Every structure is written in C-alpha cells, then in structure tokens.
C-alpha cells in the first residue's frame, strides 16, 4: 500500500476505541520486524523515526527504505517524525514525503508551545500532512529527548491547546516516561485524568513512553551478559486500561531495543564462532517481530487493516 496519513489511521481508532501502535525504527531489521508483525496481525501501523534515528541512518536512506517497505506490503502505514524539535529538519521531512509530523515544543511554556505548534500546522496543512503535538511532559531520557520531570497534562489547558492549534493528535502526560526505568513507586497511570481529557478533547490522544519492559527480556539479556537493573515498564494491564479509556496511538521504542539487545547477546553467547551479521541480526528481527505482534493485539489494532 502507499503511505497514509496519521489522521486517517487515528480517525478510525478514535471512532472504534482502539489504538494504533507507533514503533521507532532506526535500521532495516527493526523496520522489517515491524512490517512483518503488521502483516501477520493484519494491523495498521505507524512507523516513526526520531531526530536521533535520522542522524544515525540519514533521512534519504531511512525514508526510502520505509516507503519501499510499506509499498511492498498490504498494510496501511503512516511515516511519522517523532519528537520533532528542529524546524529545519521538520521542513526536510515534509518535503521528502513524511505523512505525519510531531512538533514537540512541550518543554516551552504554554503560549510558546502554541506558537511553535501553529507554525508547523500551517506548514503541514497545505500538503495534507498530519500533526501531533504534546502538552505536559513525559519523563525520562532518550538520545534526543532531554530528561525531565513529568508534568501531568491539565484537561482544560488540553482543550484550549487543541482548539487554538488545529492539530490532529495530542500527546498527553499521565504518568509515563521514556526509557526502561519508568516508575519509582507504583506502576500506575492517571486514568481519571485521561477520562477528563477525553471528555473535553475530541481529537485522538497519544501515549508516549508506553513500553512494558518485559521482565523475561531483561533477565535473559542479563543472563547473557547485560547489566540492566531496576528496569520497570508500563504493565500490559495499564496500557489496556489507557486504550479502553481513549488512547488512540501508543508509542514503543524501548521494548524493541531490549528485544534486539537480548537476542544479539544470546546469539553471540551461544555461537562463539559466528561472525555472519545475518545470523546475528536475523534472530533479533524475529524477536522484535514477536514483541510488536503482542503489542498490536494488546492495542486492539490486530485485524483492523
């Protein structure tokens, strides 16, 4: 299929109360794992690239690889810029053919966030490209997403933000963090805040930092030489509750990284003589596919393509 917009995917998920998974992709194996999972689960999907992924792989190569993979598949998929902060890069993504852009100006105060978001909406609407923005802040740290404290999204501010910016999807903060170390205390999301936001905001809602950090992956990675301690994610039951109460797009990166790391460590530890990259990365692709398939079922997007 050809690439579709985020708006078209999320219009359906909002109407029918499920979420579409947005998976971060940096290289060919992760991309293939996500596409294979979507085909096997017959699920729509959002392929997203962070600014860090683009600087790692290069915009042209990453975009052409994703476009070709989607066009060779039978599933509807959007290509989305995740946490766009650099206006020059946002413009390049728009002109190369991204069907969706996230402008993340959530680290600015309310008025400035609105101003920057509106600027990107005006660039995108001319070309029929969807826009996601964020209000409140997700915690945690990734390469290009600075560590910060969680500031929960205020429901009435969310309504005003959506009305004033004209965005297509809103990322909200209800207790999640990026990365593998999400909770100091109870692994719980603020579902009552989500319900209040959903009553006021009619556009699709997005949950970032939603990896569940499967314990079996962490302990197997540790068994084969990793040293990851204290990792904790969002339990599947909390993700399911968030989807039930109005989340329509769920972002996942950390679980894919953990699956990749576990598999590569296991393969290398068990096959000390192996040095063919295909024999090392092939199993990693399969492990990531399993994780993505599980999440598509959890989000309720399986069978919706």
Which residues are known to be catalytic? 82
CA angle (245, 236, 137) in 5-degree steps: 65
Point out which span in 9-17, 45-53, 152-160, 222-230 binds ligand G3H (CB under 6 A). Answer: 45-53
Of the two residues 178 and 265, which places its CB atom closer to ligand 13P in the complex? 178
Nearest distance, CB of residue 24 and ligand 13P, angstroms: 6
Of the two residues 76 and 209, which places its CB atom closer to ligand 13P in the complex? 209
Of the two residues 50 and 165, which places its CB atom closer to ligand G3H in the complex? 50
Burial 254-288 (b: 16+ CB within 10 A, else e): bbbbbbbbbbbbbbeeeeeeeeeeeebbebbbebb
Choosing among ligand 13P, Zn ion, ligand G3H, none, which partner's interface includes residue 210 (Cβ < 5 to 8 Å by kind)? ligand 13P
Residue 48 pairs in a beta bridge with 24, 80
Contact pick of 208, 220, 257, 265 for Zn ion (by CB under 5 A): 208
Point out which span in 6-14, 143-151, 167-175, 212-220 binds ligand G3H (CB under 6 A). Answer: 143-151
Q: Which two tokens stand for residue 11?
A: 């219009």
For residue 172, the surrounding DSSP H or E stretch is strand 169-172
Q: Which residues bind ligand 13P (CB under 6 A)?
A: 24, 82-83, 178-179, 208-211, 251-255
Contact pick of 5, 13, 14, 24 for ligand G3H (by CB under 6 A): 24
Contact pick of 253, 262, 266, 293 for ligand G3H (by CB under 6 A): 253
Nearest CA among 242, 246, 238, 255 for reference residue 290? 255
Query: What is the sign of the dihedral through the CA atoms of 27, 42, 248 and 95?
Result: positive
Window 199-228: residues binding ligand G3H (CB under 6 A): none
Instruction: Say how far apart CA 89 and CA 102 lie, in whole Å.
Output: 12
Residue nearest ligand G3H, CB atom distance? 143
Choosing among Zn ion, ligand G3H, ligand 13P, none, which partner's interface includes residue 13 (Cβ < 5 to 8 Å by kind)? none
Nearest distance, CB of residue 250 and ligand 13P, angstroms: 9
Q: How many residues bind ligand G3H (CB under 6 A)?
A: 12
DSSP annotation string for 215-272? HHHHHHHHHTT----S-B---HHHHHHHHHTTEEEEEE-HHHHHHHHHHHHHHHHH-T
């Amino acid at each position: 299929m050809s690439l579709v917009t985020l708006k078209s995917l999320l219009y359906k998920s909002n109407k029918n109360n499920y979420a579409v998974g947005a998976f971060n992709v940096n290289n060919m194996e992760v991309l293939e794992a996500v596409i294979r999972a979507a085909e096997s689960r017959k699920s729509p999907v959002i392929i997203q690239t962070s600014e860090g992924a683009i600087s790692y792989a290069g915009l042209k190569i990453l975009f052409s690889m994703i476009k070709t993979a989607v066009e060779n598949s039978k599933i509807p998929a959007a290509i989305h810029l995740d946490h766009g902060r650099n206006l020059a890069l946002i413009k390049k993504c728009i002109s190369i053919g991204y069907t969706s852009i996230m402008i993340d100006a959530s680290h600015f105060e309310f008025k400035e966030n609105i101003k920057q978001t509106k600027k990107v909406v005006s660039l995108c609407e001319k070309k029929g490209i969807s826009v996601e923005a964020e209000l409140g802040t997700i915690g945690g740290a990734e390469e290009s997403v600075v560590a910060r404290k969680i500031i929960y999204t205020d429901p009435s501010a969310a309504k005003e933000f959506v009305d004033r910016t004209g965005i297509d999807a809103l990322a909200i903060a209800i207790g999640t963090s990026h990365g593998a170390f999400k909770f100091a205390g109870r692994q719980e999301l603020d579902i009552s805040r989500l319900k209040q936001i959903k009553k006021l905001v009619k556009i699709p809602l997005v949950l970032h930092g939603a990896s569940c950090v499967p314990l079996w992956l962490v302990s197997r990675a540790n068994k084969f030489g990793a040293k990851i301690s204290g990792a904790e994610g969002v339990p599947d039951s909390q993700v399911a509750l968030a989807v039930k109460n109005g989340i329509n797009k769920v972002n996942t990166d950390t679980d894919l990284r953990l699956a990749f790391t576990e598999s590569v460590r296991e393969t290398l530890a068990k096959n000390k003589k192996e040095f063919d990259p295909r024999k090392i990365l092939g199993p990693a692709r399969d492990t990531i596919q399993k994780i993505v398939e599980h999440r598509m079922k959890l989000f309720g997007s399986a069978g919706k393509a």
